[in-house]
Amino acid sequence: MIDEKKLREDLAYDATFSCVQCGYCLPACPTYVSFGKETHSPRGRINLVKLAAEGKISIHDMANPIDLCLGCRACETVCPTNVEYGKILTSAVNVLAEYREKDRSRKEKALRNIVFHKTLTNKKILGLMGKGLYVLQKTKLNKVLRKSKMMKVLPTSMQRMEEATPTVKLPEKRQAVERSQQEQPYLRIGYFPGCVMDTVFANINDLAIKLLEMGGCEVVTIQEQGCCGALQQHSGEKELAIELAKKNIEAFERYQFDYIVNAVGGCGAALVEYHLYFDEQDPWFGRAKRFAEKNKDISVLLAKLELPFQKEVNKVVTYQPSCHLTNVQQVVDDPFHLLEQVQGVTYVPMEKKDMCCGSAGIYNIVHHAESMLVLDDKMKYVKRATPEVIVTTNPGCHLQMLLGLQREGLDDEIEVRHLVEMVAEACGIE
Amino acid sequence: MGDHRNEIIQKLMEVVSDSARVLTKMEDLYSFSFDASFGVYRPDIVCQPMATEEVVDIIKIASKYAVPIVARGRGTSLSGGPLPVKGGIVLDFSLWNTKLEIDPDNLVAVVSPGVITSHINDKAGEFGLMYPPDPSSAHVSTIGGNLAENAGGPRGLKYGVTKDYVLGLEIVTADGKVIRTGGKTVKNVTGYDLTKLIVGSEGTLCVITEATLCLVPKPLATKTAMVLFDEIIDSGRAISKVLSAGILPSKMEIMDQHSIIAVEEYAVLGLPIDVEAILLIELDGHPLAIEEEMSRVADACMAVGARHVQVAQDNEEAERLWQARRLVSPAIVRVKPTKISEDATIPRSEIPAMFQRLKEIREKYNVHLVVFGHAGDGNLHPNIIADQRDVEEMSRVEQAVEEIFEAAVQLGGTLSGEHGIGTMKSPFMEMELGEDGLHLMKMVKEAWDPQNILNPGKIFPEPGQRFELRND
């Protein structure tokens, strides 16, 4: 028997009342636009959560629409009544996870266990994966593997992602302890590399660190930090997400950083919302809030610094913002200001750039078909903009764009670059 | 529909070309059970037609089994228009946005029912033309929904409402016949004007499958002013003064003191919170003409006791002035989450009297009533902010809204300026129309839809129906 009172509390039922069902979120929602059903709109999902809390529908009835939400939170940005969609979504994801825990098959459980508990949180394994990918790509063994159908044992979606993943470079050795320098640096920065980012795009982290240092910052990548927990949080692994958050909060409390900086829109969004994992009465709330306030996206910092933009980058460029950078971190202008400073760049706006590309954490792996619907819509606008470079600010978007270009046969004509790579090139860093 | 549901689903799947556009799952049905008003009514089936022939076939099936047919755009209605209050089949037109043709020589647009309202204006703009009706949900709502509800908007003051821009329609009748009304000509007196009868009929007479809309030349420029008033009554007099000075602004929007304070608490724009009202006035036309007109607007406002007139010097400043108006909605719902947006409308000359009545109603029922919206056309938009979980408060709100309706009708106005009657206001129809007036409308309905399958339960009150703002 489902405890109705508990269900209402667990499901952020009160927050659903802020939705006046005006529908202003519909045009902003990628799944509504791509799937064409109210069921997959923010307003529709909120209604289903409310009805589930009231016992008018079963939890099972809201499962599919909640699963298929990208979590891009574009609806929050356009909402005229400030509905806390993220909170409602997370509550539904958690309730579903709890509900499913009971009847999950052992096999799936084992896979989730490996992905969320072991792989993502274990730097050694990710490091090995990175090195593995690196070796594979260097030796072109990945192509052998692809041909030998070894990759076929993975689900199609994983395979496609593997094909789209760019050449991996190993990270450079980074400063891991604070130096007691005579001269006070302009800013003391704790660098947050992010798991997937540092595996697939370690070189971008390296460039980001060099840029910060060029701007007079001391940058330290502390060893004690771990996974941000975003993917776990979005998948209903609430306890694990809290555990990871606590670990990071504690780790950074031991240092005196002005800012904690990352180049991953998705991780950044999780980090700036750590306090929402805790009740306001919980002593962790204050600690998490102080931590959250220190976290900034790399673009915010780079825009503050006086960097030596010297080299022209003669490219036609469009920008695909990371949803979590825009809608959760609310960083909108800084990436543009940076792009503007890069000489030689011709910026072409892309229509509907604020629509999610369908990457959304591991969405493009677990809901591959739906993700491709969203991606196809995105690629229509990419083609209309006809850029030479798509600039992103998040590894998930980056990979998804690569995949999209590959699907369209455009991967030879259009390249995908992180904003940091553009700025680094303009500042003469290789 | 009970016993026949599976049979009907089977038949629908045969006539809708892609069976994925026939929705039967619980989560889908409940997702088409609401609009932006009150109430949750689960339909039995949802169909997403994309062609006239599909609509014809669906209606024939509905007619055969005597099942309700409820047309729906994107569910932004504030009056319950698309709610399937008697169950049945919801026709979701949101996918059918395939036709949006501008005929610049004839100044018309031909559109399919699922086209988004603002897209029509955007496309017309490419030809130097404009589609004037601009409900505030225009970027979300479909033209089909606008036609069914005869939607208005701020520009209604100068340009009129949806019905003033409809030249012709393609419709499907309750017995599945396709009929064309009107055409592409502005002048057309051949027979009864069915076009105008259908627009605003809330899906109770037929289903609209295409519309021919009239466009006008796009004004070259706009100019905005913000006018502050110490007394709200003076703002009402200013509206009359401006209009009688021979100037027809494209928009005249009001914010009362309660909404000004709410906005300032929300976003600190630097609005003076000691004024009783702000009028936002927009003129459109030739830049030289509106420059001169704006100084006359300023004079007219100052003559009736305005404290200050601020004229925006460029589009950016105008944008900032309108920002205040846009923030009213998010600002007021911070107090309480439930927003009851009324659109009772009165003749312009009665605006000061209506302000007085609203003030009395606010005090009498102790409700959080704010006034903001289209003032220039008498469509005042009193909004009540409440919490629908508070039963006692909601019953006071219901009484207050009833009294707003009474006041509007007594002052020679109407229950609804632009939202429609739907389910919410039907109990008051007789108050405005009288017994005979309502009976005549009922006879029209019975002639067009003898089986009462088209959006049943709307416009006409059920025996004993009371006004209720509830979701259960």
Chain A's closest residue to B23, CA to CA, is A37
Concatenated DSSP letters of A141-185: HHHHHHHTTGGGGS-HHHHHHHHH-----PPPP---S----SSPP
pLDDT of residue B268: 84
Question: Which of B32, B141, B330 lies nearest to residue A81, judging by beta carbons?
Answer: B330
For every one of its 472 residues, what pLDDT tens digit does chain B have, with 9 covering 90 and above? Answer: 778 999 999 999 999 999 999 999 999 999 999 999 999 999 999 999 999 999 999 999 999 999 999 999 999 999 999 999 999 999 999 999 999 999 999 999 999 999 999 999 999 999 999 999 999 899 999 999 999 999 999 999 999 999 999 999 999 999 999 999 999 998 999 999 999 999 999 999 999 999 999 999 999 999 999 999 999 989 989 998 999 999 999 999 999 999 999 999 888 888 999 999 999 999 999 999 999 999 999 999 999 999 999 999 999 999 999 988 888 888 888 888 898 888 889 998 898 899 899 999 999 999 999 998 888 888 888 999 999 999 999 999 999 999 999 999 999 999 999 999 998 899 999 999 999 999 999 999 999 999 999 999 999 998 888 888 776 6
pLDDT of residue A326: 95
Dihedral of CA A33/A34/A40/A46: which sign? negative
Query: Residue B132 in contact with residue B160, Cβ under 8 Å?
Result: yes
Q: Which regions of chain A carry the CATH code 3.40.50? A: 187-302, 307-426
* Min Cα separation A154/chain B (Å): 29
Query: Residue A63 in contact with residue A57, Cβ under 8 Å?
Result: no
Q: Report how far apart, in Å, the C-alpha atoms of A271 and of each of A94, A124, A195, A224, B272 are.
A: 19, 22, 13, 16, 39
Helix (H/G/I), strand (E/B), else coil: A417: strand
Task: Please enumerate in sequence order all residues whose Cβ is within 8 A of that of B6, keeping only pairs 6 or more positions apart, or say none.
Answer: none
Q: What is the pLDDT of residues A128-148, one digit of tens each?
A: 555 555 544 544 445 544 554
Placement of tokens 């990175």 in the chain: A130
Say how far apart CA A85 and CA A49 lie, in whole Å.
11
Q: How many other CB atoms are there within 10 angstroms of residue A229's CB atom? A: 27
Q: What is the pLDDT of residues B207-219, one digit of tens each?
A: 999 999 999 999 9
Say how far apart CA B355 and CA B237 lie, in whole Å.
11
Rg (CA), chain B: 23
Query: Residue A391 in contact with residue A319, Cβ under 8 Å?
Result: yes
Dihedral of CA A400/A405/A411/A416: which sign? negative
CB-based contact B27 A20, cutoff 8 Å = no
CB-based contact A47 B31, cutoff 8 Å = yes
Whether B293 has its CB under 8 Å from any CB of chain A: the answer is no
Token pair, residue B232, equals 């709200």
CB-based contact A39 B31, cutoff 8 Å = yes
Q: Is the pLDDT score of A250 beyond 60?
A: yes
Task: Please enumerate in sequence order all residues whose Cβ is within 8 A of that of B252, keeping only pairs 6 or more positions apart, or say none.
Answer: B157, B239, B242, B279, B280, B281, B282, B374, B375, B376, B377
- Which residue ranges form the domains of chain B, and what is each CATH number? 1-218+431-472 (3.30.465.10), 220-334 (3.30.70.2190), 335-420 (3.30.70.2740)
pLDDT of residue A197: 87
Q: How many other CB atoms are there within 10 angstroms of residue B18's CB atom? A: 11
User: Model pTM?
Assistant: 0.88
Whether A37 has its CB under 8 Å from any CB of chain B: the answer is yes
Phi and psi at residue A136, in whole multiples of 5°? -55, -45
Task: Please enumerate in sequence order all residues whose Cβ is within 8 A of that of A34, keeping only pairs 6 or more positions apart, or say none.
Answer: A358, A370, A373, A374, A376, A377
Bridge partners for B170 per DSSP: B180, B210
* Min Cα separation A15/chain B (Å): 9
Question: Which of B23, B26, B137 lies nearest to residue A22, judging by beta carbons?
Answer: B137
* Min Cα separation A422/chain B (Å): 31
Report the Cα B245 to chain-centroid distance in Å: 29
Whether B387 has its CB under 8 Å from any CB of chain A: the answer is yes
Instruction: Kindly tell me the burial class for residue A85, based on how many C-beta atoms sit within 10 Å of its own C-beta (0-12, 13-18, 19 or more).
Output: buried
CB-based contact A23 B75, cutoff 8 Å = yes
Whether A22 has its CB under 8 Å from any CB of chain B: the answer is yes
Placement of tokens 């405890």 in the chain: A3
The structural architecture, per CATH, of the domain A307-426 is 3-Layer(aba) Sandwich (3.40)
Amino acid (one-letter) located at B246: G
Query: Whose CA is closest to A122, among A266, A244, A273?
Result: A244
* Min Cα separation A329/chain B (Å): 19
Say how far apart CA A393 and CA A324 lie, in whole Å.
10
The three-state DSSP-derived secondary structure of B151-197 is: CCCCCHHHHCCHHHHEEEEEEECCCCCEEEEECCCCCCCCCCCHHHH
CB-based contact B27 A65, cutoff 8 Å = yes
Q: Which of B21, B29, B31 to mutate to test the interface with A (most CBs of A within 10 A)?
A: B31
| % of chain A surpassing 90 pLDDT | 69
Placement of tokens 């750590």 in the chain: A274
Q: Which residues of B touch A27 (CB under 8 A)?
A: 116, 139-140
Query: Whose CA is closest to A327, among A348, A297, A298?
Result: A297
Q: Which residues of B touch A56 (CB under 8 A)?
A: 30, 40
DSSP designation for B116: B
The H or E element spanning position B326 is helix B315-326
Chain B's closest residue to A61, CA to CA, is B27
pLDDT of residue A165: 72
Q: Between chain A and chain B, how many beta carbons pairs sit less than 8 Å apart? A: 87
Greatest pairwise CA separation for chain B in angstroms? 70
Say how far apart CA B85 and CA B455 lie, in whole Å.
8
The answer for B 11-30 residues in CB contact with A (under 8 A) is 23, 25-28, 30
Greatest pairwise CA separation for chain A in angstroms? 67
More confident residue, A156 or A84: A84
CB-based contact A47 B33, cutoff 8 Å = yes
Q: How many other CB atoms are there within 10 angstroms of residue B61's CB atom? A: 23
Query: What average pLDDT does range A231-256 have in this prediction?
Result: 92
Residue A150 banded pLDDT, cuts 50, 70, 90: very low
Task: Please enumerate in sequence order all residues whose Cβ is within 8 A of that of A219, keeping only pairs 6 or more positions apart, or say none.
Answer: A174, A175, A189, A191, A209, A212, A213, A261
Whether A57 has its CB under 8 Å from any CB of chain B: the answer is yes
The structural architecture, per CATH, of the domain A4-101 is Orthogonal Bundle (1.10)
* Min Cα separation B21/chain A (Å): 9
Query: Residue A295 in contact with residue A324, Cβ under 8 Å?
Result: no
Query: Residue A179 in contact with residue A146, Cβ under 8 Å?
Result: no
Bridge partners for B92 per DSSP: B72
Beta strands per DSSP E along A269-319: 295-297, 316-319
Question: Which of A36, A39, A81 lies nearest to residue B333, judging by beta carbons?
Answer: A81
* Min Cα separation B30/chain A (Å): 7
Q: What is the pLDDT of residues A360-389, one digit of tens each?
A: 888 888 888 999 999 999 999 999 999 999
Whether A47 has its CB under 8 Å from any CB of chain B: the answer is yes
Q: What is the pLDDT of residues A167-195, one digit of tens each?
A: 667 778 888 777 665 567 889 999 999 98
Residue A427 banded pLDDT, cuts 50, 70, 90: very high
Question: Which of A21, A24, A39 lies nearest to residue B27, judging by beta carbons?
Answer: A39
* Min Cα separation B40/chain A (Å): 10
Say how far apart CA B74 and CA B139 lie, in whole Å.
11
The answer for B 129-158 residues in CB contact with A (under 8 A) is 137, 139-141
Helix (H/G/I), strand (E/B), else coil: A390: strand
Query: Residue A80 in contact with residue B332, Cβ under 8 Å?
Result: no
pLDDT of residue A139: 45
Whether B333 has its CB under 8 Å from any CB of chain A: the answer is yes
Say how far apart CA A339 and CA A354 lie, in whole Å.
17
Q: What is the pLDDT of residues A101-114, one digit of tens each?
A: 776 665 566 666 76
Query: What average pLDDT does range A291-299 have in this prediction?
Result: 97
CB-based contact A38 B116, cutoff 8 Å = no
Q: Which of B18, B25, B30, B339 to mutate to test the interface with A (most CBs of A within 10 A)?
A: B30
Say how far apart CA A325 and CA A77 lie, in whole Å.
12
Fold of A187-302: Rossmann fold (3.40.50)
Helix (H/G/I), strand (E/B), else coil: B253: strand
Say how far apart CA A321 and CA A408 lie, in whole Å.
20
